[in-house]
Amino acid sequence: MGPNLVNFLTEIPKTDLHVHLDGSPRLSTLIELAQEHHVDLPAYTEEGLRALVFRETYDSLVDYLRGFPLIVRVLQQPGALERIAYEFAWDCLNEGVLYIEPRFAPQLLATATLDVIGVLTEATRGLERAKKEYNAQQSVRDGQKPSFDFGIICCAMRTFMTDVSEYYHAFCSLHQDEPQALVYQLAASALFHAAIKAKKDHGLPVVGVDIAGQEAGYPAAEFQAAFEVAHKNFLGVTVHAGEAFGPEAVFQAITDLHCERLGHGYHLFSVDKVVKKERPAEFVAGLVQYVAKRRIMLEVCLSSNRQTMTELRDDISKHALKDMLAHGICVSLCTDNRLVSNTTVVNELLLAIEHFALTPTELKTMIVEGFKRSFFPGSYLQKRKYVGQVMHYYEHLERKYGLEDWYLSEDSMFEDQRRPQQPQTEAGRETGTLAREQGREQENENIDSTVGACLWHSSGDRIRSLSPQWTRARARGVKMPEGGEATDDGKMNRGLREGRRRLEMPPEVFM
Ligand SMILES: [Zn+2]
């Protein structure tokens, strides 16, 4: 990967729609705050903690989750949440992530002196401070660069960590007579009511709700009543689903919980994980089309999945992202946890480019969808304007990095050929494999058409030799003329693009 690529990926405006604030503090701050507030950590150096807790690889999901109680204890200290939220926003900004939806479980952080709304207020204060600082820059004020914004997602927990949370501990003592499952549901309802109140009465930028924690044994459907409340009060809904369970969990999240986005959705294509449906392959095919057509977004976290799923440990290219792309599903790459997964948005994009041979078109689509499918806190018209700004800025960077001509090519028109679609009846694991294999064959042909190759090989501010026409022509042995490019199509498309610009409309249909 060339330095061009990293620079380009850093400069383009990006989103992080699936990121746990409590999995993303700076390690140095975590240590500093733990020492200041006398919180026990297994080590007090970055190297020590990286060796013992926040590692490159984990043995299991349980191992991966071990760091969270430590972070939560630090976040419960006075002033800690605000500072960590502030630094988190800047960590995102420093790699060009301009829109974020940090999520966390406010009930885990609430104490006798700080209620759920107090917790949300503190996090907002930190994020808002970073927002003000960034947006005060001249280049943002004069509209050269898009501004920074954020919305908060409140996570309910499928199970509690009563030993680390005063709130959950108290909640359980008050509900001793109810079955445990009902207590979890009640807590989720209580949280979503607080989220609505925070938004309506306190003007806090709470934009959505989620449910996190162990999926096995705690089906999302049990939380239907809580999600009904969120839905009826116009909060965005995203659900951690299809991480441990299969397509039926995804279906449940969409139909019973009204989710518009799915956290991971990894097993969407796993026919072998269908338990109840009689014709699993047909069910999966239908579900895949439903998810694709409704533009239900999959928040994909490659590093995190690799760390918790043994089958991906040695080969991330086995990730269902390939199938998602092949079926035109709306995907956004996210970090999940910047510290616990030891990653960044740029790193996730690099992984996808390297292992899934993303074309510039696919990358751009993915980035723009991130902004479009966000639960943006402002009005629809404000969101539309913001997305328009983001796209214009992206195009400016394409010109700067010489990627512009790529889009003058026919790549987007031939996208279906590049990522072969599967017939509905054959969807599922078998066809997923088929899609992957066909995709791989196709990729070998068009190997030079990945974002990485384009930028690596580009010289000056134009990519001449790497438009798909020339990639194909070259494969057929056609020699490229001196300084040649596929001019006719290029001119036509350039004319269209100019026309769109003059109309001052977002160049793509807004969904
Ligand atoms: Zn997550």
Tell me the pLDDT tens digit for each residue of 32-72.
Answer: 999 999 999 999 999 999 999 999 888 887 888 889 999 99
CB 260 within 8 A of CB 241: no
Place of tokens 């996208």: 415
3 state SS for 281-326: HHHHHHHHHHHHHCCCEEEECHHHHHHHCHHHCCCHHHCCHHHHHH
Q: For residue 337, report the distance from its CA to the centre of ligand 1, in Å.
A: 7
Q: For residue 239, report the distance from its CA to the centre of ligand 1, in Å.
A: 9
> Tens digits of per-residue pLDDT, 254-288?
999 999 999 999 999 999 989 888 899 999 999 99
Q: Nearest-CA neighbor of 73 among 163, 154, 168, 187?
A: 163
Q: Nearest-CA neighbor of 207 among 222, 195, 197, 219?
A: 195
User: Phi then psi for 203, rounded to 5 degrees?
Assistant: 65, 25
Q: For residue 333, report the distance from its CA to the centre of ligand 1, in Å.
A: 12
- Pull the structure tokens for residue 184: 């979890």
Q: For residue 499, report the distance from its CA to the centre of ligand 1, in Å.
A: 42
Q: For residue 332, report the distance from its CA to the centre of ligand 1, in Å.
A: 13
Q: Nearest-CA neighbor of 329 among 297, 375, 301?
A: 297
Q: What's the CA gap between 96 and 91, in Å, rounded?
A: 9
Q: For residue 286, report the distance from its CA to the centre of ligand 1, in Å.
A: 26
Q: For residue 352, report the distance from its CA to the centre of ligand 1, in Å.
A: 18
Q: What's the CA gap between 22 and 29, in Å, rounded?
A: 13
| Conformation bin of residue 101: beta by default, left when phi > 0, alpha when psi is -120 to 50 | beta
Q: For residue 334, report the distance from its CA to the centre of ligand 1, in Å.
A: 9
CB 43 within 8 A of CB 51: yes
Residue 215: predicted pLDDT: 74
448 confidence band (pLDDT: 50, 70, 90): low
Q: What's the CA gap between 371 and 147, in Å, rounded?
A: 12
464 confidence band (pLDDT: 50, 70, 90): very low
Q: For residue 454, report the distance from its CA to the centre of ligand 1, in Å.
A: 32
Average pLDDT, the chain: 83
User: Phi then psi for 440, rounded to 5 degrees?
Assistant: -65, -45
Q: For residue 104, report the distance from its CA to the centre of ligand 1, in Å.
A: 9
Q: For residue 23, report the distance from its CA to the centre of ligand 1, in Å.
A: 9
Q: For residue 244, report the distance from its CA to the centre of ligand 1, in Å.
A: 12
Residue 459: predicted pLDDT: 35
Residue 449: predicted pLDDT: 60
Residue 406: predicted pLDDT: 61
> 410 pLDDT exceeds 70?
no
Residue range(s) in the chain whose domain bears CATH number 3.20.20.140: 15-387
CATH number given to 15-387:
3.20.20.140
Residue 420 DSSP label:
P
Angle between helices 27-36 and 80-93 (to 10 degrees): 170
> 352 pLDDT exceeds 90?
yes
**Average of per-residue pLDDT across 448-456:** 61
466 confidence band (pLDDT: 50, 70, 90): very low
Helices (H) and strands (E) in the chain, counts: 25, 9
User: Phi then psi for 221, rounded to 5 degrees?
Assistant: -60, -25
Q: For residue 18, report the distance from its CA to the centre of ligand 1, in Å.
A: 6
> 488 pLDDT exceeds 90?
no
For 2, the 3-state DSSP assignment is coil
Q: Which helix (H) or strand (E) holds 14?
A: strand 14-20
Residue 57: predicted pLDDT: 86
pTM of the model: 0.83
